[in-house]
Amino acid sequence: MSEHVLQVEGLSKRYGAVEAVEGAGFTAGRGRITVFLGENGAGKTTTLKCILGFLRPDAGRIVIRARRLGYVPEHPVFFTWLTGRDILSLTGRVYGIREADLSGHVSAAAAKLGFDEGILTRRVQTYSHGNQKKFSYLQNLIFTPDLLIVDEPFSALDPVSIKRVRDIFLELKGQGRTAFLSSHLISEAEKIADDVVIIKKGRICFRAKLAAFRENHVLPDPSLEAIFLHFAR
Amino acid sequence: MKAAKSLYGLAAAFLAVLAYAGMKDTPAAALKFFLFLFPYVFLLLSQDMVRGEVDSGSLENVIFLRQDFRRYLLGKNAVIALLGGLISFALFGILVLASARSRRFDLHDFAELGAGLVAGLYYTGLGGFLSYFLKAGSNVLVIFLGQAAVAVSFLLSAGLNTGFLQNLSSGFFPDFPSRLKFIGFVALLPNTVVSRKFLPWTVEVAGLSLVFFWLQFRMAARLELKKQ
C-alpha cells in the first residue's frame, strides 16, 4: 500500500486569464499531518476544491487512496432543511453506522469537540459560526475519515476549541489517519505539522518534512513562520 | 423555505381544483381535470433543483453521501420522476375508483395517463435544465409565464391564427410549417398530448424530454462549485 494517501501531480486550474494553480505537485503521507500554506489568493482553496472534485482541473492528476474522505470547509454550509440530528443520522447511514451505535459515536465526538448536543434538534443554519464549524468536525468524526481535508481548521473557533481540534488531529494521526490542512494560522499549524507545502502565486514553492528540513539548518530561524516568510513572499 | 411553502400552496390548490370539479360536476370530470393538470406535479417538484444548492454552497455536503455532486444532481431527476409518478398514480387510482359509479372504465384513461407521465418527464427535464440558470422557483415561474403569454397571444390574435386554431381543434396538421408550429406549442404546453387526438405526439414530447435530460447531463458535467 502506498504511503501517499493524497497525491497531486501537475495540477493546473485557470479562471479565464488568471492561472490560479499552475503545475502543482505534492503528496500527503499516511498517518501524517500536512499543512498547506500560502498567502491570500495563492491558490490554496482552488487546489483543495480540485482535490475534492468541486472544481475541474485543466490539467494534472489527483490520486486519493482513502476509503473514507472527510472534509471541513472554511465556512460550512449544510442542507438548510435538515437539523443537526438529521444530518448526522444521514451521514451515519451512508457510512454504515448502525442507528443504535450512532448516538455513542456522536456523544464521543461531541465530548472531544466540546459541542453541546442539545442544539442538534435545531437546523444547523441556526447555529453560530463557531458551532457550525464544530458541527462540521462532528459530522466527520462520527465516521473517522482516512483522509481529512480541512480548509482553515481553526477559523471561527475559540481558543479552547482550537486546542481541542489540535488534539483531534493528533489523535487521528495516532490512529494512522491523514490530515491535510490549509491554514493561515501558522502558529497553530506549527504545533501539529509533520509536513509543509507552501504555494505561491499558484505554484508550489516549498514542500518538505518539517523535522528533516529543520535538521538541515537551511534557515537560521527554523520556525514555520520564518520558513513561510522566506519561501512564500 | 419560501419555495417549499409555495409548493405546498400549489399542491393544495391542485387538490382543491380536483375536489371542486368532483363535487360540482362528477368524479369523471375531476379525472379529466387531473389528467390534464397532473404533469404540473413534476414541474412543481423540479423547482430550484440546482442553482440554489450550488450558490449556497450546501452542495458540497454531497461529499458526505459518498457521491459526486454531479451524479447527485442528475439523480434528483430520477427521484422527482419517481415521486411525481407515485403521486400521479395514487391520485389517478383514487379518481378512477371515485368515477367508477358514474361511467364505465375506459382504457383510454391509461393512455392519457401515460401521455401525461411523458409530459411530466418533459417538465422534469426542462425544469431541471432551467434551474441551472434560474434560482429558487423562477425556473417553474418562467414556464408558467411562457404558457400564460401563449394563451394571451392566442386570445389577442385569434383572427390571425384561425388556421392554427382550426388545426388544433381538429388535431390535424396538414403541412410541415403547421406541424413545426405545433411542436413549438407542445414544447411550451406538453400537457396538450394528454388530449386523445394528440396522443401520437407523445413521441415528440418524449424526444424533447431526452434533449433536456441530455442538456442537463452536459451542464452537470461542466458544473463547478466555485462559491464558498
Distance from CA of B51 to the nearest CA of A (A): 13
Give the pLDDT confidence of A56-90 residue by residue, as tens digits. Answer: 999 999 999 999 999 999 989 888 889 999 999 99
Q: B42 with B90: CB under 8 angstroms?
A: no
Q: Answer yes or no: is pLDDT of B228 > 60.
A: no
| Cβ atoms B143, B126 nearer than 8 A | yes
Distance from CA of A207 to the nearest CA of B (A): 26
CATH 3.40.50.300 spans which residues of chain A? 1-68+146-158+174-233
Q: Is the pLDDT of residue B1 over 60?
A: no
Residue type for position B100: A
The stretch A42-68 carries a mean pLDDT of 93
DSSP one-letter code for B67: S
CB contact under 8 A, B63 and A71: yes
**pLDDT in the model for residue A218:** 74
Would you call A94 and B64 a contact, using CB atoms and an 8 Å cutoff? yes
Residue A50: pLDDT band by 50, 70, 90 thresholds? very high
For residue B217, name the pLDDT band (cuts at 50, 70, 90): very high
Sheet holding A4-15, edge to edge: A18-29, A4-15, A59-64
Q: Looking at residue B2, what is its pLDDT?
A: 54
Cross-chain residue pair A52–B4, CB shorter than 8 Å: no
Cα distance from A134 to chain B (closest Cα, Å)? 15
Looking at residue A69, its pLDDT comes to 93
- Taking the Cβ of residue A73 and every Cβ of chain B, the question of whether any pair is shorter than 8 Å is answered with yes
Percent of chain B topping pLDDT 90: 40
Q: Per-residue confidence at B11, pLDDT binned at 50, 70, 90?
A: confident
pLDDT tier at B189, thresholds 50, 70, 90: very high
Gyration radius from chain B CA atoms: 19
* Nearest-CA distance A36 → chain B (Å): 18
- pTM, entire model: 0.83
Phi, psi of B144 (to 5 degrees): -60, -45
Q: A23 — alpha (psi -120 to 50), left (phi > 0) or beta? A: left
- Can you tell me the mean pLDDT for A99-121? 93
Query: How do residues B145-183 score in pLDDT, each as one tens digit?
Result: 999 998 888 888 777 767 777 888 887 888 888 888 888
Is the pLDDT score of B199 beyond 90? no
CATH of domain A1-68+146-158+174-233: 3.40.50.300
Chain B residue with minimal CA distance to A74? B228
Per the CB < 8 A criterion, the answer to whether A123 and A77 are in contact is no
Between B181 and B103, name the one with better pLDDT. Answer: B181
Above pLDDT 70, what percent of chain A? 99
- Given a cut of 90, is residue A210 above it in pLDDT? no
Model confidence band, residue A141 (pLDDT cutoffs 50, 70, 90): very high
Supply the mean pLDDT for chain A: 91
Split at pLDDT 50, 70, 90, the class of B57 is confident
Q: Looking at the partner chain, which of A45, A71, A78 has a beta carbon nearest the beta carbon of B228?
A: A45
pLDDT recorded at residue A72: 95
Q: CB-based contact (8 Å) between A94 and chain B?
A: yes
* Alpha carbon distance B90, A116 (integer Å): 43
Find chain A residues with C-beta within 8 A of B61's C-beta: 77-79, 87
Query: Any CB–CB contact under 8 A between A62 and chain B?
Result: no
